[in-house]
Amino acid sequence: MSVSPRAHIYRLVVLLGIGAAGFAAIRNLAIPESWDDENFYRVDSLQELKLQPLRFGGNTACAGSGCHQDQRVAEHREHFTALTRGKHGGLACETCHGPLARHVSGGRRVTPALINRENTLCLGCHAPLVSRPEGFPQFSAENTGHWYFDVEITTPCRDCHDPHEPRQMAAPRQRHVLEEHAGTVAMEPSHTLGEVMQ
Amino acid sequence: MTTETSVARRVFLQRLLAGSAAAGVFMVYRQPVVAALGDADEAQRAADHDYAFVVDVGRCIGCGQCVRACSIENEVPEGQYRTWIERYVVTPEGVHVDSPRGGMYGFDEVDAELASEALNSFFLPKLCNHCAQAPCVQVCPVGATYRSPEGFVLVDPEHCIGCSYCVQACPYGVRFINSEKRIADKCTWCYHRVSQGQLPACVTVCPTQARMFGDLNDPDSQVARVIREDNWDVLKPEAHTESMCLYLGLPRVVV
């Protein structure tokens, strides 16, 4: 029995067949199951990206949260109401108090919310900069009230301004501080202070 | 017996032909059929949204809250920024632009000489424009970056090989190779937050509402109103990227 004269052709065909099958198999394994042929991406990645944990909860998560068992519930609500009616109405709680995820995790408090009473917090927005929009309130020692009470940029802002409602100046517990700043100026605090601060 | 067999063969051949034709048709049209069966709801829901971002340049005070919030929310490595704030100071001699540490910790005042010469000065927040015709999507060799049906340009972390073609392709310079994950990284408009009904982190904390985000399909949204009022600009319109990040009050000096 002699070897077919076309044996080399058959061998070639078999090898090409194996090669093609191998390519198809590897290609099949390399393409993810949820591959979108039209838009060329893995559709499952959308679901995976959604799993990233959230850090910021937004005001709705903080306002009137029922987390606290004590007077803090009322305190939260009070601050939130003050915030929404004042000049700082557009602010998020987390803008100053840090992300919710650092305060609460798995429904439990992990650390107290950030409370920065330093001027650095206020000046982050209100330090005078030439690039800030015109009309945006920026600290000025020449400002009527500031000038009157010799307020400098280092004077604690909180002595007079309530950060939750900054227009509500000279709150009763802080009035004595104002009087100290006023020094020897003789005046009737109950109404003159109010006029100056308008 | 013989007759029966020959008839059966003819029938068999006819059936074989019909069967192959049917199988062929199914193989060609398989994907649309499967897609129509399985993903119809998903695709419909996605198409209900068409998100856009608006930056009001006249409201930005350069406080850096957005940059800090973004870094926390997305665990962006130090020294890299998914969003940042640029400060422009326009003087008769030229335009000074700076962005110390991405504006993350705010800005110190420019030096007195520059401030006195300034004709105009403003802060300009920047982020991914989530272009409808995104160059980064076009160049990705492995299909790891794509534009989702809702308009988010995203990176598939499992698929990205970190070749940084997209980093070079982006006309806005918003992409970088994450120094910890070694893959392409960029602003996602906080896709994970938006898909849970929250606003992006930067929009959440912005104290002056200089950043707005919303759905163009919702006629009551701020972004839809901005589109209607038609006084917006985009960065580098000449790049024809169909940017979905609209700027209000964008000065002409901005490139």
- Tell me the HSE value of A80 on the side-chain side, using a 13 A CA sphere: 16
Q: How far apart are CA B16 and CA A17, in angstroms?
A: 25
Q: Which residues, in sequence order, are bridge partners of residue B247?
A: B55, B233
Judge whether B113 and B126 are in contact, CB under 8 Å. Answer: no
Q: In terms of C-beta density within 10 A (0-12 exposed, 13-18 middle, 19 or more buried), how is residue B96 classed?
A: middle
What pLDDT, on the 0 to 100 scale, is given for residue A142? Answer: 86
Could you please state the CATH topology (level 3) that the domain comprising B51-132+185-248 is classified under: Alpha-Beta Plaits (3.30.70)
Find residues 169-188 of chain A whose CB sits inside 8 Å of chain B.
none
Phi, psi values for residue A156, rounded to 5°: -55, 120
Q: Is the pTM of this model over 0.95?
A: no
What pLDDT, on the 0 to 100 scale, is given for residue B97? Answer: 95
Contact A42/B159, CB-based, under 8 Å? Answer: yes
**Residues in B touching A93 (Cβ below 8 Å):** none
Q: Is B59 on the interface with A (CB under 8 A)?
A: yes
Phi, psi values for residue A186, rounded to 5°: -90, 120
**Residues in B touching A45 (Cβ below 8 Å):** 154, 156-159
Average of per-residue pLDDT values in chain A = 81
Contact A90/B208, CB-based, under 8 Å? Answer: yes
List of residues 6+ apart from B221 with CB closer than 8 A = B214, B215
- Domain limits of chain B? 2-38, 51-132+185-248
Residue A95 has its nearest CB partner, among B62, B191, B207, at B207
Q: Which helix (H) or strand (E) holds A25?
A: helix A7-30
* CA distance to partner chain A, nearest, from residue B121 (Å): 5
pLDDT tens-digit series, residues A35-46:
998 889 999 999
pLDDT tens-digit series, residues B19-78:
899 888 877 766 555 555 555 555 555 568 999 999 999 999 999 999 999 999 999 999
Q: DSSP state, A193? A: I
Helices B2-38 and B40-47 pack at an angle, to 10 degrees, of 30
